[in-house]
């Protein structure tokens, strides 16, 4: 399984995430399936904040995956105590991101 290469960019007005060539990765919406930018009444303000946070996380996903892979590649083989546990958790997150778990 291979994901769209990063970096991904975020349009913070519409909470849309785009790949480097401009193709859309996704639009983040709140659970009622309305655009997150609909903050007209107080009921949507919290949902809009969560959508924005989720959109930032999604846009950072390729960079986070590269960082985790670099960390595991650098530190995991050394069996360095507590850091080994962190690297094991990171390796599990990588497997999940790559659809292997």
| Total domain count, the chain | 1
Distance CA 88, CA 68 (A): 11
Please check whether residue 4 lies inside any domain of the structure: no
Supply the pLDDT for residue 13: 83
Containing domain of residue 62, as a range?
Answer: 9-97
- Per residue of the chain (101 residues), give pLDDT as tens: 788 989 999 998 888 999 999 999 998 876 655 555 455 555 566 677 778 888 888 999 999 889 888 888 887 666 666 656 777 888 888 888 877 87
Enter the DSSP assignment of 17: E
Q: Which residues of 80-97 are buried (b: 16+ CB within 10 A; e: fewer)?
A: eeeeeeebeebbeebeeb
In a domain, 1, yes or no: no
- State residue 45's pLDDT score: 65
Do the domain assignments include residue 2?
no
pLDDT of residue 38: 52
In a domain, 3, yes or no: no
- Tell me the whole-structure pTM to 2 decimals: 0.71
């Amino acid at each position: 399984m291979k994901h769209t290469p990063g970096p991904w960019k975020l349009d913070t007005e519409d909470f849309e995430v785009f790949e480097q060539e401009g193709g859309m990765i996704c639009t983040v919406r709140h659970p009622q399936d309305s655009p997150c930018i609909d903050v007209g009444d107080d009921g949507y303000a919290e949902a809009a904040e969560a959508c924005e946070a989720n959109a930032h996380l999604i846009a950072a996903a390729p960079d986070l995956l590269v960082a985790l892979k670099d960390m595991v590649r650098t530190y995991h083989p050394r069996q360095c105590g507590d850091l080994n546990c962190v690297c094991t958790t990171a390796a599990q997150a990588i497997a999940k991101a790559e659809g292997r778990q």
